Amino acid sequence: MRLHTAPDHGVVGAVATGISQAGGIVTAMDVSESSHERLVVDVTCSAADADHAKLLEQAVDEIDGVTVHKTSDRTFLLHLGGKIEVSSKVPMRNRDDLSMAYTPGVGRVSSAIAEHPEDVWRLTTKGNTVAVVTDGSAVLGLGNIGPGAALPVMEGKAALFKRFADIDAWPICLDTQDTDEIVRAVELIAPGFGGINLEDIAAPRCFEIERRLRASLDIPVFHDDQHGTAIVVLAALTNALRVVKKQIADVRIVVSGGGAAGTAIVTLLLAAGAADVVVVDRAGALCADDETLSGAHRQLAEVTNPRRATGDLHTVLTGADVFIGVSAPRILQPEWIKDMATDPVVFALANPDPEVDPVEADKYAAVVASGRSDYPNQINNVLAFPGVFRGLLDARASEITVEMLLRAAKAIAHVVDDDELNPSFIIPTVFHPDVPKAVAAAVRGA
């Protein structure tokens, strides 16, 4: 906050006290201008959230002799002008440099690629470039907010690609939610990229888009909300089961949420050897005997729920070993965990508000994980997608296979060794330097 105050340095102490009494934490305070008429004071303080920040501003503004001139949020400041940029990898110092990087020299390179199309991977950025494609229909937990509002998220994704795998990614925000138009748009831009990362596209449209693009393109297509999530969930579950000394083939698993992420998680769990998985949606357990199921849910029901369990979440959770939530906030009552099997595992991954408060769940579960960074065991897609694409690009892969996903999950899991493994550490931090390297090597090996 930039404050205009009376020319009394005692006001500075009153401001600090007012912020503290309102629950804020002052981290810096500077008198940037002093005169006989007024002081200009810059205050930096920490707030719990945006609403709390407004309360702090109000508390300061109510102090006698103080006017809040301007406020700023460091998250918004970080986004000014966007988070990514294009920079040249070659010098442009003189006419000689220009003649090679651009005309006339570049014409020789273009002619060579026209004669030998496979050289586009070697002589352009294609071999290290990913398109991050969205229609803005399912952005984070914000819903259908459109392509413009999705752009900051896609920029962030591109920045993560660069930070963790040195991949040049670019956000492509499409102003359409028509499946045919999205597929055609991606097909048209595909020659400039080595891979396609589909992001924040609502189900069930995302399934068809991915299926059609995988069939039509000769570069890998990866829907991170599905497969990135599934990889990290399987990695975390692998280690959680190591902690409680159970085998994936022997446990009963309940997955809450039959959307894109839930479907991909179930598919990978089954491929990893899970034998008893029940999916629960708003109406209850998905069962193949239910004639009212939609097409996507029917397909999911046909490969899950071997016991033909029915009922709501609490009913099917009774006796289960594992709960995996990719659905909605606060749908799991902490006390229900007591009805699960011995040493239950709870993954509450809805963001930003999980299916159950991790602190409350920890009272009853042997292992708890969430999608949040402020609790132990954060299940975060950043553990998967940079390394996955690094491996795909290095191998010049044309598609993604289930074997690649399984190997990627195994690689993430085994970054945590036996000495480190415990109920509060089943998954490595996203900043662990070995994770993207291990995942890339696993994908290349597949």
Active site residues: 102, 157
Q: Provide the token pair at 91.
A: 């010098």
Q: Could you tell me if 386 and 436 are in contact, meaning their C-beta atoms sit under 8 angstroms apart?
A: yes
Q: Where are the beta strands (DSSP E) in 9-50?
A: 25-34, 39-46
By residue count, the chain amounts to: 446
> Which phi and psi (to 5°) does residue 352 adopt?
-85, -10
Q: Provide the token pair at 420.
A: 């480190």
* Cα dist from 129 to 126, 163, 212, 293, 422, whole Å: 5, 14, 21, 40, 38
Tell me how far apart the alpha carbons of residues 446 and 443 are, in angstroms, rounded to a whole number.
Answer: 5
* Cα dist from 239 to 139, 209, 360, 368, 408, whole Å: 29, 33, 22, 12, 14
Complete DSSP assignment for 194-211: SEEEE-S--TTHHHHHHH
Q: Could you tell me if 129 and 196 are in contact, meaning their C-beta atoms sit under 8 angstroms apart?
A: no
* Cα dist from 430 to 373, 385, 387, 412, 433, whole Å: 10, 11, 11, 10, 8
Of 360, 357, 401, 354, which Cα lies nearest the Cα of 379?
354
Tell me how far apart the alpha carbons of residues 397 and 395 are, in angstroms, rounded to a whole number.
Answer: 5
Tell me how far apart the alpha carbons of residues 365 and 342 are, in angstroms, rounded to a whole number.
Answer: 9
Q: Provide the token pair at 176.
A: 């359409």
Quick one: angle between helices 50-61 and 10-21, nearest 10?
140
Q: What is the DSSP letter of 225?
A: I
> What strands, in cross-sheet order, belong to the sheet with 168-173?
168-173, 129-134, 195-198, 221-223
Return the number of other C-beta atoms located less than 10 Å from residue 410's C-beta. 17
Question: Strand 25-34 relative to strand 345-348: parallel, antiparallel, unpaired?
Answer: unpaired
